Every structure is written in structure tokens, then in C-alpha cells.
């Protein structure tokens, strides 16, 4: 089982779209795939037709019980309309976790422990993160084998990337782990100067961890989210779907730069 987290502290950069698109492609290839929604807004949970306001049980419950066992973890997971794709949904109640748990020790590994019970059941797990630092983000980073950082190709997003990398390094130090990561330029529009120049900025400053292609702007993503289907199950031949397919091939083959993950 390989665990991928998709994170960036900046909102609206394509995190949920990236997680759903990569998971959709894995399911299409017949891989047993789980998506984990760790965003209190529950965008991914809604995407697959569940209501984050009322869903129970949810990720929230993982933070409430002392001992998480396999049966408990599996009881939270729901099937989606896609055969090989399951979801561990978010409820909006997870927004209260930071206040509730404070500095309670051990909470940074709650999701790692829950997911560890599923290693025989799934080939790929994709975790969708909230756009802010807190107990959920810490859990998502601690749980993953590889972090994907979508970065919108516009100027303001460059500052967001810097913040995200600072957070990443802080968590690496605190937990004595080394997290492999790939920066993925998103919403690229070659007709705009902002897109062209910010892609160049990424190439000049982050070449070592930058995916060597980009996800183009494609209105079909909005349409596919309205339909509640990953782009691969909605319009497989669009530019956006082809780009995510290329990204999946590259990250599976380790073509994007990887630091070796070392867990201590």
C-alpha cells in the first residue's frame, strides 16, 4: 500500500482535484483505492455524494477513540459508485479538533495508526488536506510515503509554496522523518503572463522537486466535480485528464525527484 498526501496551505490551488483525479485513474486501472478526506469543508466527501454536515461515523471518530482497531477503521469507510474506490469521509465536526485536542500527545499519529490497519486492503491511499496548518495537516504529512504539492501557476501561489515547504520541514524535524515530495504546477494557462512567468519561477527555484510537466487549465474539471466523477470517468481524453494520467505514470515510476523516506 502506498500513501499519498495532497497538501498546500494555500486554498483553491487544485488539491482536491488532484487527489480525486489521481485516485480515479488508479481505480480505472483496477487498483484498490482509498481516498481520505481530511478537510473540514468536506469537499471530497461531497464530491462522492455524501453530506459532511450529517455523515456518521467519519474521520472525526478516529480522533475520539483511544484504541483504533481494524474493525473500527473499516466501519468508517464507505463505498463510492466506482467499484475500486472507497472513501474515508470527513464530517464538518473535524473543524473542532484543534481546539478540542490542543497539545494532547499522540494525536499526530492517529491517522497513521488507522491507515496501518488497511495495508492488505488497498493498493493506493490518497489523502486530501485542508488549506491550513493544524492537527489534520500534521497527521496527513506523518501518514504519507509521498507528498504532492499542487501549486497554482500565479504569483500569489509562490508565497504559499514557501509557507508549505517551511511547514513540511518543521514537521520533518519534529517527527524525525524525511518526506519525499513533488511540486505539481496546476491551472496552467499558456496565454497568460502570470502562468508562464510563475512556471519559470518554479523551474528556476525548485527544479529538484518539480514535476517536469504541468496540469493545464481545463473547464472540464468543474463539470466533472458537478457530476461527482473523477475526470478520468467523465472525459478521459481531455487535456486535464491526460495530464493527470502522465503525472500518475511519472510518480509511480519515481520519475519525479524523490528523497528516500526514512522513518525513525
Ligand X SMILES: Nc1ncnc2c1ncn2[C@@H]1O[C@H](COP(=O)(O)OP(=O)(O)OP(=O)(O)O)[C@@H](O)[C@H]1O
Q: Which stretch binds Mg ion (CB under 5 A): 9-17, 50-58, 198-206, 208-216?
A: 9-17
Q: How far is the CB of 234 from ligand X (least distance, A)?
A: 11
Determine, following the binding rule CB under 5 A, whether residue 15 of this chain makes contact with Mg ion. Answer: yes
Establish if 16 lies at the interface with Mg ion (CB under 5 A).
Answer: yes
> Which option in ligand X, Mg ion, none does residue 12 bind, with CB closer than 5 to 8 A by kind?
ligand X
Q: Cα(first)–Cα(last) distance of the chain, in Å?
A: 19
> Of 125 and 217, which CB lies nearer to ligand X in the complex structure?
217
Contact 137, 167 (CB under 8 A): yes
Sign of the CA dihedral 183, 3, 140, 81? positive
- Binding residues for ligand X restricted to 215-234, rule: CB under 6 A: 215, 217-218, 221-222, 225
Angle between helices 193-205 and 155-175 (to 10 degrees): 30
Provide the H-helix boundaries in 176-212: 193-205
Q: How far is the CB of 89 from ligand X (least distance, A)?
A: 15
Using CB under 6 A as the criterion, what x/- string covers residues 113-132 for binding ligand X?
A: ------------------x-
CB nearer to Mg ion: pick between 35 and 85:
35
CA–CA distance, 44 with 36 (Å, rounded to integer): 8
Residue 159's binding partner among ligand X, Mg ion, none (Cβ under 5 to 8 angstroms by kind) is: none
Cell of 214: 504541468
Residue 43 interacting with ligand X (CB under 6 A): yes
Out of 138, 171, 184, 187, which residue is the one contacting ligand X (CB under 6 A)? Answer: 187
User: Where are the alpha helices (H) located in 54-154, listed in sequence order?
Assistant: 59-62, 70-76, 97-101, 110-116, 135-143
Neighbour tally for 260: CB within 10 Å:
6
Question: Is residue 223 helix, strand or coil?
Answer: helix
Binding site for ligand X (CB under 6 A): 11-17, 39, 43, 131, 186-187, 215, 217-218, 221-222, 225, 240
Amino acid at each position: 500500500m502506498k500513501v499519498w498526501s495532497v497538501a498546500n496551505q494555500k486554498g483553491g490551488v487544485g488539491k482536491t482535484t488532484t487527489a480525486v483525479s489521481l485516485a480515479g485513474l488508479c481505480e480505472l486501472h483496477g487498483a484498490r483505492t482509498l481516498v481520505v478526506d481530511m478537510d473540514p469543508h468536506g469537499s471530497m466527501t461531497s464530491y462522492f455524494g455524501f453530506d459532511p454536515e450529517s455523515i456518521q461515523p467519519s474521520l472525526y471518530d478516529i480522533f475520539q477513540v483511544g484504541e483504533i482497531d481494524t474493525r473500527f477503521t473499516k466501519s468508517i469507510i464507505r463505498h463510492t459508485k466506482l467499484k475500486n474506490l472507497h472513501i474515508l469521509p470527513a464530517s464538518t465536526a473535524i473543524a473542532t479538533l484543534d481546539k478540542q485536542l490542543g497539545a494532547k500527545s499522540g494525536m499526530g499519529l492517529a491517522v497513521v495508526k488507522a491507515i496501518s490497519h488497511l495495508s492488505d486492503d488497498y493498493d493506493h491511499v490518497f489523502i486530501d488536506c485542508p488549506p491550513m496548518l493544524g492537527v489534520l495537516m500534521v497527521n496527513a504529512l506523518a501518514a504519507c510515503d509521498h507528498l504532492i504539492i499542487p501549486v497554482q501557476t500565479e504569483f500569489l501561489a509562490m508565497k504559499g509554496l514557501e509557507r508549505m515547504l517551511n511547514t513540511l520541514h518543521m514537521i520533518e524535524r519534529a517527527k524525525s522523518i524525511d518526506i519525499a515530495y513533488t511540486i505539481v504546477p496546476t491551472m496552467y494557462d499558456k496565454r497568460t503572463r502570470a502562468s508562464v512567468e510563475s512556471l519559470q519561477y518554479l523551474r528556476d527555484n525548485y527544479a529538484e522537486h518539480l514535476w517536469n510537466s504541468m496540469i493545464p487549465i481545463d473547464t472540464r474539471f468543474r463539470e466533472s466535480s458537478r457530476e461527482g466523477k473523477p475526470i478520468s470517468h467523465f472525459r478521459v481524453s481531455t487535456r486535464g485528464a491526460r495530464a493527470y494520467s502522465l503525472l500518475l505514470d511519472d510518480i509511480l515510476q519515481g520519475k519525479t525527484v524523490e528523497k528516500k523516506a526514512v522513518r525513525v
